[in-house]
Structure 1
Amino acid sequence: MLFADVVDASAVVSATRSRLEKVDALAAVLRTAGEAEIRPVTGYLTGAPVQGRIGTGWRTLVQLERHPAESPTLTVADVDSGLAELAATSGAGSQARRAALLTALMIRATAAEQDFLLRLLTGELRQGALEGVMLDAVARASGARAEQVRRAFMLSGSLPDTAATALLVGPSALGEFGLELGRPLQPMLASPADSLDAALEELGPGLRLEYKLDGARIQVHRNGDDVHVYTRTLREITTGVPELVALVHGLPCRSVVLDGETLALNDSGRPRPFQETMSRFGATTERELLLHPYFFDCLHLDGVDLLDAPLSERAEALRRVVGEHVIPGIVAPSGEQAAEFLRISLASGHEGVMVKKLDAPYAAGRRGRSWQKVKPVHTLDLVVLAAEWGHGRRSGLLSNLHLGARDPDGGPPVMVGKTFKGLTDQLLAWQTSTFPEYESRRTDWTVYLRPELVVEIALDGVQVSPRYPGGVALRFARVVRYRPDKTAADADTIETVRKMLPGQATIT
């Protein structure tokens, strides 16, 4: 298959707002791909080469000599082997070798192919939302049910592997993917609730309330003496959190998979700022600041997978294995008890509460309604699209942020507002030094970024506005913090933003 066929399909996906047309274009390419091409093609079209990060920076790529070829001759196999060689290049002289390999690849590519490769290698194609469209395309191309494909992906952690299995072996083989100790799976996600009363009414009497901690999501796997700890984005941090590893080693079990949160506490037992907890996640060695885990789900225990078991059964297994490290919670509360539990959570320095249905299975990778989060302050996780240079006291600093919500159909983030409020001197300095690493282009007044950084924004509400492409604008938006534990794929969608409109006004 010519690489140009992949580039053309990507262009079709970018040019249409129709999810059906996106799925059709991707499915057509998958059907045409050869056996050895399905995995790399799937990776290219979702912005994630199967080789992982190639290790080549933006500045190196833009400085390459790139005289484009007049007609397409590159094949998918050519690009795959070229990227594999790049990923394997290290040691003395590797920088020059990388530049030579990239130049050799680029001069064989047409202008359109060069542009695609540049965006692929710098992460600009990694929108995250494209995964959902690609999963539907795999189902369409293979004849599998969409739910079969989604479950296999969430358990395998690899979209290329899922696609290859569905297309080459058949839909029935997707059922062979299961929870594997030491291989992280996508976490179950919660939807925001309008209020505590609304969540209680929707989920009914059979529910559990838990503290919503201001911590970092962790997933822990143990198989005998082998322990692994992963972040929300499935990045392994085992070597940097030895206190968590030691705790899991001491649990009364042979094998276990746990879902939970961890955070740093001060001397009085209250949570430290989120940034202090996250500082441990960037470390490769132990730090003085200790992390305290609070587990809220058990997905496997001593040879038994519990993903499809109801929460009530998983919670019982959790209590048996982690004891005092279960997150604080109450079962089947009255309205008054739930309100008091929320008050205590907030008074203890936490964000609010989680409301969960006791009969719900663990829906890996899904943001369903069986888990709902209740927070007194409206917040959204949005993608930073650009930043404007400041004025006055902020002259020389990147300040006013352009904010985007995720397009659930795989398009680029949809701009919904700007803000410079809530930015401390420390954050302004960080933005000014860090944003150029994510720069895609700039003008005299604005630095535009690849859509990778996620920021948590507090707001008073949303209003209809023709100013932005999504038809909505944020009201009194201010920066709470950056979320290094999240990717653009975890950002809130434009649909979530629109649901915050008063009376959910119609947007035309």
Structure 2
Amino acid sequence: MTSFLAFAELCQKVEATAGSLEKINLVAAFLSSLDEPELSVACSYVMGTIFPPSQSLAMGVGPSILYEALSKACGCSTEQIGEMLRATGDPGLVAAGVVEKRRPIGFAAFQESRPLSIADVSERFMAVARASGKKSQDIKVKNLQYLFSLASPLEARYIARLAIEDMRIGIGEGGMRDAIALAFHEIGADAERVEQAYNLTNDMGLVAVNARRGTLAELSIMIHRPIKMMLAQLGESIASALGEIGTAAIEWKYDGARVQIHKDADHVWIFSRRLENVTASLPEIVQTAKEIRAQSAILDGEAVAIGKDGRPMAFQDILKRFRRKYNVEKLAARIPLRLFLFDLIYLDGRSVTDLPLRERRDLLEKIADPGILADQVVSASKEAAEEIYRQALAAGHEGIILKNPASVYAPGKRGKNWLKIKPVMETLDLVVIGAKWGEGRRASLLGSYRLGCQDAATGNLLDMGFVATGFTDESLAELTEMFRELIVLEKGMEVEIKPAVIFEVAYEEIQKSPNYSSGYALRFPRMVAVRYDKSLEEADSLERVVSLYRGQRGRVIP
């Protein structure tokens, strides 16, 4: 049984290591020493995630729960914890400092100290995630309190970061893929096989266990285990897209939210683009999916909120449906959803991802009624595509997607087999990493938000400045309420926010700026939408920011 201290020591070494290859070597050596249950857990923990999407579990731990647990475990007041946080800016370092000065209280004073194992932490985190009802916060606090009461300062550092899913050690999906491949290369694992298995399962722990067994090839798509969705790349124009694809399958790009539907007899599960289980929030989509003429199927489509005028409602209205947990029927009456299916991933016991799109579409048409299918026209005509584009815009949708009829379904991939054509100006998807309190009548609201792009090399988020326009008082109130539980540090008017939410931001120009860690800033940024449907991995990279900067007004590389 591997101690959690060994895991914490690994994380400390990885965090202190600058080079990506050195980080991967450290992680690979550790993974190769674990038994299967520990391996499954450790892979997720290193990346800062606790549960794979198929488990439909979330920790639900914010700073307030974390600091209450630390206070009760160590006899330190929450005020003292707040002061330490203002000094360090890192909840992990705060936890380590508090535990170092721990005064045993409560049950911790009467129990024998024993080493924590990876399994111990996993068991307690499972109890935290499964806590529900009126006493759920107390249950979460008690389980974290137990861990902190037994932890060393180094262990506490990473227990705290894991609890809020913010590890800060610079290992993401790509790094973990390479580490698994290296750890088990003698058994036949390589980066390509590991990535393929991950794309089919979306569970890095499961992939690692199978790499250890030499059974990666046996992994496949399964009902109730969501996979990453295939994505479209932005095309330059209809003419250039047809030049890339030739004869294309042309569909509207709906102004809705992506859904992945899993059907097994009369049981239906619906997953969002972020692979969150949203089944309970979308009862009309569940009912529609039950009418699919298949024993089992996984389908890809779009849920669109339709207003009384027959036009799509605002994207934020759709996301209200996805996030609603109570009084669902009442909101469904006000914001009804309609399903448009456009792809088939799995049918009656087998994956169909390797079939060309034209064959997947034929199968889809056999099992779904025309009323829930996205219209599709196969054509090489620029004039035909332009007419479909005009129709989509006139109906209030975003544009069109041109798809290669011969293309396979590539989970998690964005490429030239699907090209989207939209009339809107360029936008960036950036992570909210901080905020400022407003002034005057907005003094009680977070009025502007600090944004960050991803550094692909390190996994770190790099500052690009603030956005303060594009908000209504109502939206600021909603955002303030949401971000309140994500505040990890407060200094005067500014707060640091746990990275969890993406803003889609429009701008007039990208400018070089020495004031921000990215080296760039946005001129006249405006918040377009809160992209609750996107995961942090989908945030734009510094590489894309630089590419857009160089492409402005014909600017060439200096």
In structure 2, relative to structure 1, the CA distance for the partners of 1:221 and 1:104 (3 Å cut) is closer
Report how far residue 259 of structure 1 moved.
0.1
How many Å separate the matches in 1 of 2:11 and 2:139?
A: 29
Q: 1:450 to 1:55 in 2, by over 3 A?
A: closer
User: Equivalents in 2 of 1:92, 1:263: separation in Å?
Assistant: 34
TM-score normalised by L of structure 1: 0.90
1:472 maps to which residue? Answer: 520
Q: Which residue of 2 aligns with 1:231?
A: 272
Which has a greater percent of helix? 2
What aligned pairs does 1:94-109 form with structure 2 within 5 A after superposition? Answer: 96=138, 98-109=140-151
Separation in 2, partners of 1:390, 1:89: 35
Letter in 2 for 1:439: I
Determine whether 1:130 maps to 2:172. yes
Q: Distance in 2 between matches of 1:486 and 1:77?
A: 31
Shifted more, 235-244 versus 399-408: the winner is 235-244
Aligned pairs for 1:47-446 (under 5 A) are 47-50=48-51, 52-63=57-68, 64-65=70-71, 66=74, 67-68=98-99, 73-87=115-129, 96=138, 98-125=140-167, 130-143=172-185, 144-167=189-212, 169-170=213-214, 173-201=215-243, 203-284=244-325, 285-286=328-329, 287-288=332-333, 289-322=335-368, 323-377=370-424, 378-409=426-457, 411-446=459-494
What secondary structure, in the 3-state scheme, does the structure 2 residue paired with 1:500 have?
A: helix
Quick one: which amino acid aligns to residue 419 of structure 2?
Q
Conserved? CA contact 2:5–2:155, under 8 Å: yes
In structure 2, do the counterparts of structure 1 residues 191 and 93 end up closer, same or farther at CA, with 3 Å as the change threshold? closer
Amino acid corresponding to residue 498 of structure 2 in structure 1: R
SS at match of 1:134: helix
Question: Per the alignment, do residues 374 and 365 of structure 1 end up closer, same or farther by CA in structure 2, a change over 3 Å counting?
Answer: same
TM-score, length-scaled by structure 2: 0.83
Q: 8 Å contact 2:17–2:23 — kept in the other structure?
A: yes
Q: CA deviation at 1:98?
A: 4.5
Farther off after superposition, 42-51 or 265-274: 42-51
Judging changes above 3 Å, is the alpha-carbon distance between structure 1 residues 133 and 155 closer, same or farther for their aligned structure 2 residues? same
Contact 1:383 1:491 in 2 (8 A): yes
Distance 1:46 1:214 in 2: 32
Superposed displacement of residue 436, structure 1: 1.6
Query: Is the contact made by 2:11 and 2:169 (CA closer than 8 Å) also made in structure 1?
Result: no
Structure 2 residue matching 1:24: 3-state secondary structure? helix
* Distance apart, 1:12 and its partner CA: 4.3
User: Matched residue of 1:28: which SS?
Assistant: helix
Could you give the per-residue CA deviations for residues 281-321 of structure 1, whole angstroms, max 9, x where no partner exists?
22344321321111111112344421011112112222232
The equivalent of 2:81 in structure 1 is none
Taking the aligned partners of 1:126 and 1:184, their CA distance within structure 2 comes to: 26
* CA-to-aligned-CA distance 1:218-255 (integer Å, 9 cap, x gap): 11122222222221122223333232222222233333
Greater displacement, 43-52 / 431-440: 43-52
> Kindly tell me: are residues 374 and 17 of structure 1, through their superposed partners in 2, closer, same or farther at Cα, counting changes over 3 Å?
farther
**Residues 247-293 of structure 1: CA deviation (Å, up to 9, x unaligned):** 22223333322100011112332101112222222234432132111
**Letter aligned with residue 431 of structure 2:** V
Q: Within 2, Cα distance between the matches of 1:164 and 1:34?
A: 9
Q: Give the deviation of 1:361 after TM superposition.
A: 0.9
Q: Distance in 1 between matches of 2:464 and 2:167?
A: 21
SS in structure 2 of the partner of residue 501 of structure 1: helix
Query: RMSD between aligned alpha carbons?
Result: 2.8
Q: Are the aligned partners of 1:438 and 1:450 in contact in 2 as well (CA < 8 Å)?
A: yes
Moved more, 303-312 or 328-337: 328-337
Q: Deviations over 1:332-353 (max 9, x none)?
A: 3323332332232222211122
Take 1:96 and 1:249, find their aligned partners in 2: how far apart are those partners?
Answer: 39
Which sits farther off after the overlay, 94-103 or 248-257? 94-103
Secondary structure, aligned partner of 2:99:
coil
Aligned AA (2:149): I
Q: Distance in 2 between matches of 1:25 and 1:213?
A: 45
For residues 428-459 of structure 1, the C-alpha deviation after alignment (integer angstroms, 9 at most, x for no partner) is 22233222210110110211100001111122
Q: Aligned equivalents of 1:436 and 1:449: distance in 2? A: 9
Query: How many Å separate the matches in 2 of 1:222 and 1:197?
Result: 38
CA contact (8 A) 2:454 2:541 kept: yes
CA drift of 1:96 comes to: 4.9
Q: CA deviation at 1:402?
A: 0.8
Contact 2:550–2:556 (8 Å) recurs in 1: no
Aligned equivalents of 1:276, 1:240: Cα separation in 2: 13
Distance in 2, matches of 1:275 and 1:407, equals 28
3-state SS, counterpart of residue 434 of structure 2: strand
Structure 1 residue ranges without an equivalent (≥5): none
* 1:45 partner amino acid: V
SS at match of 2:199: helix
Summarize deviations over 1:180-235 as a string: whole Å, max 9, x none: 2232222112223344444333x230322221112111111222222222211222
The answer to whether 1:36 aligns with 2:34 is: no
Distance 2:416 2:114 in 1: 47
Moved more, 13-22 or 386-395: 13-22
**Count of residue correspondences:** 504
Once the 2 structures are TM-superposed, how far is the Cα of residue 324 of structure 1 from its aligned partner?
3.1
Which whole-Å CA distance do the structure 1 matches of 2:402 and 2:36 have between them? 45
**Distance across 2 between alignment mates of 1:29 and 1:194:** 45
Identify if the C-alpha distance between structure 1 residues 183 and 432 changes in structure 2 by more than 3 Å, giving closer, same or farther.
Answer: closer
Task: Mark the runs of 5 or more structure 2 residues left unpaired by the alignment.
Answer: 75-97, 102-112
Q: Which residue of 2 aligns with 1:7?
A: 8
CA distance in 2, matches of 1:445, 1:475: 23
1:465 deviation in Å?
Answer: 3.1
| Superposed displacement of residue 507, structure 1 | 7.8
What is the distance in 1 between the residues matched to 2:551 and 2:135? 62
Asked if the contact 1:133/1:410 (under 8 Å) is kept, the reply is no
Question: Identity percentage over the alignment?
Answer: 36
Question: What is the deviation of 1:89?
Answer: 5.9
